[in-house]
Amino acid sequence: MPSVSSPLRTAMAGCGLIAILRGIRPDEAEAVGEALYGAGFRIIEVPLNSPEPLTSIRNLRQALPLDCMIGAGTVLDPSACAEIAKAGGEIVVMPHGDPQVIRAAKAAGLAASPGVATPTEAYAALAAGADVLKMFPAEQLGPAVLKAWRAVIPNDVPLVPVGGITPQRIAEYAQAGASGFGLGSALYKPGMDAAEVAERARAFVAAWRDAYPSTEPQS
């Protein structure tokens, strides 16, 4: 697995599935987070366009073991990074590759995962300090593009497709060189209870284990 900075490297090595809980409420976060953790997830993201996202991040951080990394998604403003860190967040995830947001995340001691759609954007993000490259939207890029990127982007740089990923599609992206996956509505939609999220999470983790048999759950 990629040699990104610990503890992100440790989390991705055990399970490179990233839960995107867009729309979750603070009162739901703990139960859903515990369901995801129990299924094997070790990275959870709360997009900032969710209700009271910093409170949800704080609740998740307090409820889950430290080997589970909590992050914020849809981060558009560099000034948000300090608040994310204050709430207990450890990762900044972006839909774009704004170098100012990347640098602000790193200055706040956070890992940065910008969204990129071309090799030019990918290398610009790496130059700004990105830890993980979010290939977004994965529906448009696809495994063939991912395979082409892997020919020019170093193997130790994590490439994480996000958008339209289902358990059935993990194997083809894995064969093309994916390091992990961001999972949105196929895993969680607002209003889902913890039991339903857990069922979907287990299906994703099973697909991950099949595609990456050398990885092991982190305890």
Report the CATH number at residue 169: 3.20.20.70
Instruction: State the total domains in the chain.
Output: 1
Chain Cα centroid distance, residue 194: 19
Contacts of 127 by beta carbon, 8 Å cutoff, 6+ apart = 99
**In-domain check, residue 218:** no
What's the average pLDDT block by block, 10 residues per block, for the chain (219 residues)? 57 92 98 98 97 98 96 98 98 97 97 96 96 95 96 93 96 96 97 97 97 71
Angle, nearest 10°, between helix axes 53-63 and 26-39? 40
pLDDT in tens, 196-216: 999 999 999 999 999 998 776
Residues β-bridged to residue 17 = 181
**In-domain check, residue 20:** yes
Measured in degrees and rounded to the nearest 5, phi and psi for residue 7 equal: -85, -5
**In-domain check, residue 130:** yes
Catalytic residues: 45, 134
**In-domain check, residue 149:** yes
Structure tokens at 10: 């440790």
**In-domain check, residue 154:** yes
Half-sphere exposure of 85 (CA within 13 A, CB side): 14
**In-domain check, residue 122:** yes
pLDDT in tens, 167-186: 999 999 999 999 999 999 99
Domain holding 162, by residue range, is 7-211
Q: Taking all residues of the chain, what is their mean pLDDT, rounded to a whole number?
A: 94
Across 7-163, where does the E strand assignment appear?
17-20, 43-47, 69-73, 91-93, 111-113, 115-116, 133-135, 159-161
Structure tokens at 97: 């590759």
List the Cα angle 150/153/159 in 5-degree steps.
70
**In-domain check, residue 181:** yes
**In-domain check, residue 2:** no
